[in-house]
Structure 1
Amino acid sequence: MRRTLDLLYDAAAWLAALAMIGVLVWVLLSIISRQLGFNIPGTDAYAGYSMAAAGFLALAHTLKRNEHIRVTLLLGRLKGRAGQVLQMWALSVAVLLAGLFAFYSVRLAWQSHAINDVSTGNDATPLWIPQIAMGIGTVVLLVAFVDEWFLQWSGKRREAAPGEALHNE
């Protein structure tokens, strides 16, 4: 099960990386087309869709790598049972919020598809297409938070070292 979950988080991260490449491609295409005197409609919108996809698809992977910004002032001071209770409370709230976020993100994409909602820009993209990435990203984030909740419950959750959050700076 652990390998499957890690594969899910990694797959979402790879899709996020592809979306970041998509941002680059759309922006470069926009710049090149302007320099050569022609216009490709929708490049700005597609770059925005790609950026949103990258952000949402990377959420679970960054959570599992302890890269999310967390306020640990109180958690760092509490030890033993009190720290465990606070961690379980925080993860429970996170599961609830991620569940709501996932539900409404998927619902938004579904409703956009049902009513044939399109962007108001000159690209007229059906909005459910870029919204799929948001729905997938939030569902995978929910899975990651549930995973963290069960790891905490079973005592197998790895805590980030105090200086570990700074390793990317």
Structure 2
Amino acid sequence: MRRLLDALYDGAAWLAALCMVALLVAVLLSIIGRQLHFNIPGIDAYAGYLMAGAGFLALAHTLKRGEHIRVTLLINALRGGARRGLELWSLGLATLLATLFAFYSCRLVWQSHSFHDISTSNDATPLWIPQLAMAVGTVVFALAFVDELVRELRGERAQAASGEALRNE
């Protein structure tokens, strides 16, 4: 099961990377089009869709790598049962919120498909298509939080060391 979940998180990250590459191509095409006086209808909208897709598809992988922003001031001050209790409460709440986010993202895709909702830009793209990346990304993100919660309950979750000292931007 661990290998399957890790492959799922890595697969979503690869899709996010492909979205980023496609975003680069879309932006370059837009720039070249302006310079050479030709227009590709909807290219700006597609760049936006790709940017959103990259962000949502990368959520779970980022979480599993410990790169999400965490406020560790309180949790680092706690030890033992209090720390574990706060971790469980935080992961439980995050799991609930991520699950709701995934549910409503999937519901939005379904509604856009049912209502034949299309983009208001000149490309008239059915909106459920770009929204699908958001729905998939949020579902995988919710699964990653469930995974983290279960690992914490089983005592298998490694405590994330604060990397603030390593990052001196």
TM class, shorter-length: over 0.9
> What is the Cα deviation at residue 64 of structure 1?
0.2
Query: Residue deviations 1:92-136, cap 9 Å, x none?
Result: 000100010000000000100011000101111100000000000
Q: Which residue of the partner structure matches residue 106 of structure 1? A: 106
Q: Which residue of the partner structure matches residue 130 of structure 1? A: 130
Structure 1 SS opposite 2:39:
coil
> What is the Cα deviation at residue 163 of structure 1?
2.6
Paired with 1:123 and 1:30, the residues of 2 have a C-alpha distance of 14
Q: TM-score, normalised by structure 1?
A: 0.97
Q: Which residue of the partner structure matches residue 91 of structure 1? A: 91
Given that 1:66 and 1:165 are in contact with CA atoms closer than 8 Å, whether structure 2 keeps it comes out as no
Deviating runs (4+, > 6 A) in structure 1?
none
Paired with 1:166 and 1:41, the residues of 2 have a C-alpha distance of 45
Query: Residue deviations 1:118-159, cap 9 Å, x none?
Result: 010111110000000000000000000000000100111011
Q: Which residue of the partner structure matches residue 23 of structure 1? A: 23
Given that 2:117 and 2:127 are in contact with CA atoms closer than 8 Å, whether structure 1 keeps it comes out as yes
Q: Which residue of the partner structure matches residue 41 of structure 2? A: 41
- Structure 1 gap ranges (5+): none
Paired with 1:33 and 1:58, the residues of 2 have a C-alpha distance of 29
> What is the Cα deviation at residue 33 of structure 1?
1.2
Q: TM-score, normalised by structure 2?
A: 0.97
Given that 1:98 and 1:142 are in contact with CA atoms closer than 8 Å, whether structure 2 keeps it comes out as yes
Q: 1:39 to 1:109 in 2, by over 3 A?
A: same
Q: Which residue of the partner structure matches residue 14 of structure 2? A: 14
Are residue 153 (structure 1) and residue 124 (structure 2) matched?
no
**Which range moves more in the overlay, 29-38 or 4-13?**
29-38
> What is the Cα deviation at residue 167 of structure 1?
5.3
Aligned AA (2:133): A
Paired with 2:92 and 2:146, the residues of 1 have a C-alpha distance of 8
Q: Which residue of the partner structure matches residue 71 of structure 1? A: 71
Aligned AA (1:33): G
Q: 1:60 to 1:165 in 2, by over 3 A?
A: farther
> What is the Cα deviation at residue 166 of structure 1?
4.0
Aligned AA (1:28): L
Q: Which residue of the partner structure matches residue 2 of structure 1? A: 2
Query: Residue deviations 1:28-73, cap 9 Å, x none?
Result: 0111111111111101000000000000000000000000000011
> What is the Cα deviation at residue 165 of structure 1?
7.9
Q: Percent identity?
A: 69
**Aligned CA-pair RMSD:** 1.3
Given that 2:91 and 2:148 are in contact with CA atoms closer than 8 Å, whether structure 1 keeps it comes out as yes
